[in-house]
Amino acid sequence: MSERIATVTRNTRETQITVTINLDGEGRLACETGVPFLDHMLDQVARHGLIDIDIDAQGDLHIDDHHTVEDLGITLGQAFHQAIGDKRGIYRYGHAYVPLDEALSRVVVDFSGRPGLFMGVEFTRASIGRLDTQLFWEFFQGFVNHARVTLHIDNLKGFNAHHQAETIFKAFGRALRMAVAPDPRMAGQMPSTKGSL
């Protein structure tokens, strides 16, 4: 399998973002988005997904975090779509359950080529730090639309909003790691009866 590395730049009047990912990395994150809790969550994705992620992001944070968070999801999704290539020889599906104290989340992903987000999460607080918890949906919606994946996210338990979010992002990283991993039994075959994804 060739190197699975991609760099994507998205420039709008609201944000200027460049994302580089290596799907076969060591779990390293280099970023400073200006949204500290989002940086913390992206670190979980990199670490638990064993994906190297470099992000250079400038956004209109003087307005609020919305555009930066949403556009990071979009750009990260575009980078995944580019890095994964035609998907031959990957597991395609990934899933993970992750606990953190009282919180438990499940994330399931399918690199199906069909965007879809199904998110069953009721955060117990409206914000974590200064980050509006509604923006997590915007991040994942941007990701699935541009990575072209089906993504199910369920927070099964939890009363601490920080723990809820952290279990979601850790499970997201673990599910991605499983889905993009080379499957030695597929040996370059397409993981679909259709012959394409």
The 10s digit of each residue's pLDDT in 13-72 is: 999 999 999 999 999 999 989 999 999 999 999 999 999 999 999 999 999 999 999 999
Q: Residue 166 belongs to what H/E stretch?
A: helix 161-180
14 vs 30: CA distance, rounded Å = 22
Q: What is the mean predicted confidence (pLDDT) over 169-195? A: 94
Q: What is the mean predicted confidence (pLDDT) over 73-83? A: 98
Q: What is the mean predicted confidence (pLDDT) over 164-186? A: 97
Q: How many residues does the chain have?
A: 197
- Counting residues of the chain whose pLDDT is more than 90, the rounded percentage is 93
Amino acid at 163: H
What is the bridge-based pairing of β-strands 15-22 and 29-31?
Answer: unpaired
Q: Which two tokens stand for residue 8?
A: 């994507």
Task: Write the DSSP assignment of 74-133 as a string of letters.
Answer: HHHHHHHHHHHTT-TTB--EEEEEEEETTEEEEEEEE--S--EEEEE---SSSEETTEET
Q: Are 181 and 51 in contact (CB under 8 A)?
A: no
Residues 134, 177, 24, 186, Cα dihedral to 10°: -140
Average predicted confidence (pLDDT) for the chain: 96
Model confidence pTM above 0.95? yes
Residue 118 binned pLDDT confidence (cut-offs 50, 70, 90): very high
